[in-house]
Amino acid sequence: MKAIFTTVLSLIFVITQVTAQPSVNFPLLGDTDREYHFRTAAAGGIDLELTGPGVIWDFSQIDPDSIFPEVSTQSYIDPADAPMIDQIPDVDFVLKNETNGVSDYTYLSLSGNRLEVLATFDEFDPEPLVLPEPLLLMPLPLEFGFEESTTSEFFLEFNEISDTFDLTNEYSADGYGTLLLPNNQVFENVIRLQAISSISGLADVEEGDIEGTVRLVVDQTTYIYVCDELGVPAATIEKGELTVYLVIIPNVVETPIFNVPTPVEITYYQPGETSSAEEYFLTDLRIFPNPSADFINLENLEFTSGNPIEWSIYDMTGRLVQGGEIPVLNSKYRIDLSGQKTGMYNLILTDGEKSSSYKVIKK
């Protein structure tokens, strides 16, 4: 009896801990005055299996050589400013993504507590791709333990092959905890949404050595890491594969012919990206101690314009939390962080038209 009572108490404690996890909302969703900068890298060496409450996802040691050089800039824009908006009804938000000067758009609706994709469009398309049915992107607020699965039929045509396929989407919020990103970024209260899409269907083919009926299966898993501090995901990881099965006896015997996996990639948020109109200066500047519980010291300051240096500190939502001015010819300066919450901040130093951005951590 004592063992059973102890087990019951343990289960109650675990259930309480799990259900007590707060939901994640997007306070900045649709903020048209904010931009988010993302980089993409290979996800080698990252443990993708970490789930449950209290998880620490450590992506901080991404191999610098695997990082793609381009930066993706994402921002919400006024739907009235989006292209082809007259062809897509009931749009609440439009997410614009720009990479290497090329823009694409995702048209979203907020239906109850569900954020859904209505259509997509990029500059090379003659017209937007309007989905026959809205595709669930995520529920809001996103709660730990959420699960949902849907299967629908759709008509697919490619390589002169036409057939009806099944599309199954599975969603689950399977992890909750802390996200560590490059450049000493730390996000608390992060929930991971696992989205699994599987497309499966039969087709008759005559292509090279393949002749007969085959089953095509495309599996893709996307891990989306979302938190209170951003209006868009802080990181996403994508992996997938295409498998072709030769159908010997329909619904009984199928033999895999080949499998083509896709590289595992992670796209992560990188704050403080300098715009093309800004220039870095103060290359010899020392900032210490960093992290700091109270004061940070600046040394080797240079006044290239002969004017005072303006300093500003922003939190990870882009909110200005502190600011001031460094008098001319002061090669050293001290900033008091004791009044700030624990976390990552951007320190911006401006001398005339030139700016420098630095990461500082309040512990």
Range of the domain at 232: 35-269
Greater model confidence, 52 or 136: 52
- Output the CA angle 224-226-228, nearest 5 degrees: 175
Q: pLDDT at residue 9 above 80?
A: no
Residue type, 23: S
Length of the chain: 363
* CA 224-230-232 angle, 5° bins: 45
Question: Is the pLDDT assigned to residue 123 strictly greater than 50?
Answer: yes
Domain co-membership, 82 together with 161:
yes
129, 105 Cβ separation under 8 angstroms = no
Residue 352 falls within a domain, yes or no?
A: yes
In this structure, are 57 and 172 located in the same domain? yes
Q: Assess if residue 153 is contained within a domain.
A: yes
Lowest mean pLDDT among 18-22, 105-109, 196-200, 320-324: 18-22
Residues 242 and 292 in one domain: no
Token pair of 353 as six digits: 């038209």
Least confidently predicted of 199-208, 229-238, 277-286? 277-286
Banded model confidence at residue 5, pLDDT cuts 50, 70, 90: very low
* Residue 68 phi, psi dihedral angles, 5° rounding: -70, 140
pLDDT tops 80 at residue 361: yes
Q: Across 19-23, 45-49, 209-213, 343-347, which has the greatest mean pLDDT?
A: 45-49
SS3 362: strand
- For residue 68, which amino acid is it? F
Tokens of 260: 């083509």
The candidate with the shortest Cα–Cα distance to 179, out of 230, 214, 137, is 230
The pLDDT, as a whole number, for residue 266 is 95
Helices (H), ranges, the chain: 2-19
Looking at the structure, tell me whether residues 170 and 307 fall in a common domain.
no
Query: In terms of pTM, does the model score above 0.75?
Result: no
176 domain residue, yes or no? yes
At 151, the pLDDT band (50, 70, 90 cuts) reads confident
- Res 11: pLDDT: 33
Task: Check the CA dihedral 5-6-8-9 and report its sign.
Answer: positive
Q: Do residues 145 and 218 share a domain?
A: yes
261 within a domain of the structure (yes/no): yes
Residue 328 β-bridge partners:
none
Which residue would you say has higher pLDDT here, 10 or 294?
A: 294
Residue 48 dihedral angles phi and psi, to the nearest 5°: -90, 0
pLDDT at 301: 85
Do 139 and 60 lie in one domain? The reply is yes
Q: What is the pLDDT of residues 75-89, one digit of tens each?
A: 999 999 999 999 999
Determine the 3-state secondary structure of 86 from DSSP: helix
pLDDT at 344 over 80: no
Per the domain annotation, does 2 fall within a domain? no
DSSP state of 24: B
**End-of-domain residue from the set 269, 297, 330:** 269
Domain end, chosen from 269, 300, 334, is at: 269
User: Considering Cα of 296, then 302, then 304, then 308, what sign does the dihedral take?
Assistant: positive
Domain check: are 112 and 203 in the same one?
Answer: yes
What is the rounded end-to-end Cα distance, in angstroms, of the chain? Answer: 46
Backbone φ and ψ for 16, nearest 5 degrees, come out as -60, -45
Say if residue 99 is in the same domain as residue 246. yes
pLDDT of residue 4: 36
Residue 119: pLDDT over 90: yes
Q: Name, of 20-34, 172-186, 344-358, the range with top average pLDDT.
A: 172-186
Which residues have C-beta within 8 Å of that of residue 361, sequence separation ≥ 6? 184, 186, 290, 291, 292, 343, 344, 345
Q: Does residue 7 lie within any of the structural domains?
A: no
Say if residues 14 and 236 touch (Cβ distance below 8 Å): no
* The last residue of a domain, from among 215, 244, 269: 269
Specify whether 230 is located in the same domain as 319. Answer: no
Give domain status of residue 274, yes or no.
no
One domain for residues 310 and 187? no
What CA–CA distance (Å, rounded) separates 62 from 182? 7
**Domain identity same for 248 and 311:** no
Order of strands across the sheet that contains 286-288: 286-288, 295-299, 332-336
The phi, psi pair for 10, rounded to 5°, reads -65, -45
Which comes out higher in pLDDT, residue 307 or 11?
307
At 19, the pLDDT band (50, 70, 90 cuts) reads very low
Q: What ranges make up the beta strands (E) of 208-269?
A: 210-226, 235-249, 253-269
Q: How far apart are CA 70 and CA 58, in angstroms?
A: 23
Lowest mean pLDDT of 14-18, 111-115, 207-211, name the range.
14-18
Residue at 6 is within a domain? no
Tell me the backbone φ, ψ of residue 15, rounded to 5 degrees: -60, -40
Residue 50 shares a structural domain with residue 161? yes
What does the pLDDT look like over 153-183, one tens digit per residue?
Answer: 766 565 545 567 888 889 999 999 999 988 7
Number of domains in the chain: 2
Residue 310 is part of a domain; what is its CATH number? 2.60.40.1930
